Amino acid sequence: MFFRKRNIVIGLLFTAVVISACKKAFNDANSTNDSNLTVNLYQAIQQNNGTAIFASLLIKSGYATLLASGTKSYTVWVPTDAALASLPSTILNDTALLRKFVGNHIANGTYNAGSVTLQRIPMLNGKYNNMIAGGIDSANFTASNKYASNGVWHIIDKYIPARDNCWEWINNSTNTANSKALLQFLNYNFFDSTLATQTGVDPNTGAPIYKAGTGIVVKNKFLVDGVNINDESTEYTFLVLDDGSFTTEYNKLSPWFKTGSTDSTKTLTGFWLYKDLAVKGSYAASALPDTLLSQFGVKVPVDKSKITASYKTSNGWVHVMSQVNFNLNYKFPPIILEGENPSGFAADRTANALYRIRINPNTGATFKDLLMQNYGYAGYWIRYLAKGLNSMRYNAYWVSVNDVQTTPLWTQKLCIDSANNPTTFTYVTVPYQNYNEVSLGQFTIANYRNVNLFVVGANTSSTSGGSVSIDVDYIKLVPAF
């Protein structure tokens, strides 16, 4: 502290010497004579020649007061009077619609035009619009980067319609009734405790008690587990099946989703059908590739001649299709259960479980597996959970690697549903250094459900020598249809 204080003193002395010794260093330079900065955005738009209609709409929608305030800065894209001449009267005569429309031209913060990269800008009405160097949405700039005291504004040659997004589009559509009904069928009620009203505390458990009927929000399985096409900030391409093609594709899938109730089957089939039909990225009909890859890795064939109508939405494109001919092999890819991700064991044998990293000497690729040896438990099993197996036949394979001993070789078997299930597969000897898939046979699942698979070791107990072992690189279930 002693040093620091002295440094400050020396520093002050130094500054004093410099200032007193030299001439006046600074002129007053904090005044401005830029006339643009004497008016706010609303005044600038109102006073500009050729944008009077939009200025009147600002008044009518109530946004004028916002743009006249000086506390925050905004960006306004102002359609010319000529552009607004064609604005439908339905919008002009509906206050809510008008506010949504005007709000589609105003953003928080300042966005200057001229950036080469595409900017997706959030608007005051909750929509997003894409701005590129020459314009925004489908409009072009006739003047840009004009500024006022509280932001910038650009003049555009077309207005930006406040469109529905992809999800709103399907909910408002009138000509794809089957798809609309199905997607709405996927709605469910969700309890969100942060939105509920708490009325007390359970004296026994301490858990909160909520007022009945509060905190319920409607969610949609397609949006939550599939693709959230209700998200304005991201752009999607959404293929919607017309009524005829919906029935075709639905009937193609529904046999693989047999359950105890028709509603469950409908939910599962509908979700499975639609989960691959929305992909990220905005593709106009002309720009669509012949195959889209969904976020679930499923190839979606796109035959452009089957597009019956295309609609631009606020977050992408909707294409109504008269046919999407899914290949079932793509729709139901093989299920792979990795050996190193078990869901359970017959008993705790952590000390005998070896999670290994290996190189396949034939391919040079690395793989992980789970090897258990000398665990001293007859009929020991490792359990794997296969989620959502369809009501169909599966061919089962595994890769089980014995790279540790030429003798003795061990045996293991795969069982479905129970480690004691006698009707499934028999014991298989794991040969030395076989890195290939071994076919185990076929099994049938009657109803769509989660299935436990068990890899079961020899029915003897041993704690040495490796004669009783289990190794799983992976189990593969290939749909046989």
Partner 1 sequence: MKMIAFKKKTVRNIWLMAAFSLAASSCKKLLDKQPETFLTTTQMYRNVYDADAAVIGVYGKLMGLAKQYIVLNELRADLMQVTDNADADLREISSHTVSATNPYANPRPFYAVINDCNDVLKNLKIMVAANKIKQAEFDQRYSDIGCLRSWLYLQVGIHWGNIPYVTDPLETIDAVKDASKFPIIPFNQLIDSLINFTNTLPYQQPYPMGASINTGLMTNFDGYSTRRFFIDKFALLGDLNLWKGNYTAAATYYRKLMEPVNNGYDTDNANSLYSIGGLQYYDQFKQPFASVTDNNDLCIGYIRFKESDINSFIDNNTQGWRSMFVRSQDANWQKQWVWELPFNNNFAPENPFINLFSNRGGSYLVKPSKQAIDNWNSQTQTNGFPFDGRGSLTYRTFDGQPVICKYLYSYLDGTTFLPANLLQKNGNWFLNRAANVHLKFAEAANRDGRRKLAYGFLNIGISGTFAGPLGTATTNDQTNYENTLYESFPYNFDARYGDAPRFRADWYKNTGIRGTARLNAAPVSGDSTLSIENSILTEGALELAYEGERWPDLVRIAIRRNDNSIVANAIFNKLSKDGFANAAAIQAKLMDRKNWYLPFQF
Contact residues: partner 1, CB under 8 A: 3, 6-7, 10-11, 13-14, 17-18, 20-21, 351, 353-359, 366, 368, 371, 403
Identify which of residues 299 and 349 has a Cβ nearer to partner 1 in the complex.
349
> In the bound complex, what is the minimum distance in angstroms from residue 148's beta carbon to partner 1?
37
Q: Can you tell me the distance from the alpha carbon of 353 to that of 370, in angstroms, rounded to the nearest whole number?
A: 7
> In the bound complex, what is the minimum distance in angstroms from residue 36's beta carbon to partner 1?
38
Identify which of residues 3 and 26 has a Cβ nearer to partner 1 in the complex.
3
Q: Can you tell me the distance from the alpha carbon of 141 to that of 148, in angstroms, rounded to the nearest whole number?
A: 18
> In the bound complex, what is the minimum distance in angstroms from residue 406's beta carbon to partner 1?
16
Cα distances from 129 to residues 58, 73, 125, 136, 442, in angstroms, run 19, 18, 11, 7, 53
Identify which of residues 266 and 358 has a Cβ nearer to partner 1 in the complex.
358
Identify which of residues 56 and 360 has a Cβ nearer to partner 1 in the complex.
360
Which residue bears the tokens 């800065």? 73
> In the bound complex, what is the minimum distance in angstroms from residue 401's beta carbon to partner 1?
10
> In the bound complex, what is the minimum distance in angstroms from residue 293's beta carbon to partner 1?
23
72 φ, ψ to 5°?
-130, 165
Which residue bears the tokens 């609309």? 180
Cα distances from 286 to residues 42, 256, 280, 295, 305, in angstroms, run 40, 34, 17, 22, 11
> In the bound complex, what is the minimum distance in angstroms from residue 319's beta carbon to partner 1?
35
Cα distances from 346 to residues 230, 371, 377, 454, in angstroms, run 45, 15, 9, 10
* Enclosing H/E stretch for 353: strand 353-359
Identify which of residues 296 and 355 has a Cβ nearer to partner 1 in the complex.
355
> Amino acid identity of 16?
A
> In the bound complex, what is the minimum distance in angstroms from residue 373's beta carbon to partner 1?
9
Identify which of residues 177 and 365 has a Cβ nearer to partner 1 in the complex.
365
Tokens of 20: 């007193």
Burial class (CB in 10 A: 0-12, 13-18, 19+), 276: buried
Identify which of residues 285 and 359 has a Cβ nearer to partner 1 in the complex.
359
How far is the first Cα of the chain from the last one, in angstroms, to the nearest whole number?
81
Q: Can you tell me the distance from the alpha carbon of 27 to that of 141, in angstroms, rounded to the nearest whole number?
A: 40
Identify which of residues 25 and 357 has a Cβ nearer to partner 1 in the complex.
357
Alpha helices by DSSP H, listed for 48-176, are: 52-61, 63-68, 81-84, 89-92, 95-103, 166-172
201 φ, ψ to 5°?
-130, 135
Burial class (CB in 10 A: 0-12, 13-18, 19+), 158: middle
Cβ-based neighbours of 169, under 8 Å, separated by 6 or more? 238, 311, 313, 318
Identify which of residues 218 and 357 has a Cβ nearer to partner 1 in the complex.
357
Q: Can you tell me the distance from the alpha carbon of 392 to that of 477, in angstroms, rounded to the nearest whole number?
A: 11
Identify which of residues 370 and 414 has a Cβ nearer to partner 1 in the complex.
370
Identify which of residues 135 and 457 has a Cβ nearer to partner 1 in the complex.
457
> In the bound complex, what is the minimum distance in angstroms from residue 317's beta carbon to partner 1?
32
> In the bound complex, what is the minimum distance in angstroms from residue 357's beta carbon to partner 1?
5
> In the bound complex, what is the minimum distance in angstroms from residue 206's beta carbon to partner 1?
31
Cβ-based neighbours of 190, under 8 Å, separated by 6 or more? 216, 217, 218, 219
- 454 with 381: CB under 8 angstroms? yes
- 420 with 481: CB under 8 angstroms? no
> In the bound complex, what is the minimum distance in angstroms from residue 472's beta carbon to partner 1?
14
Identify which of residues 21 and 207 has a Cβ nearer to partner 1 in the complex.
21
- Residue 135's CB: how many other CB atoms inside 10 A? 20
- Residue 65's CB: how many other CB atoms inside 10 A? 10
> In the bound complex, what is the minimum distance in angstroms from residue 465's beta carbon to partner 1?
15
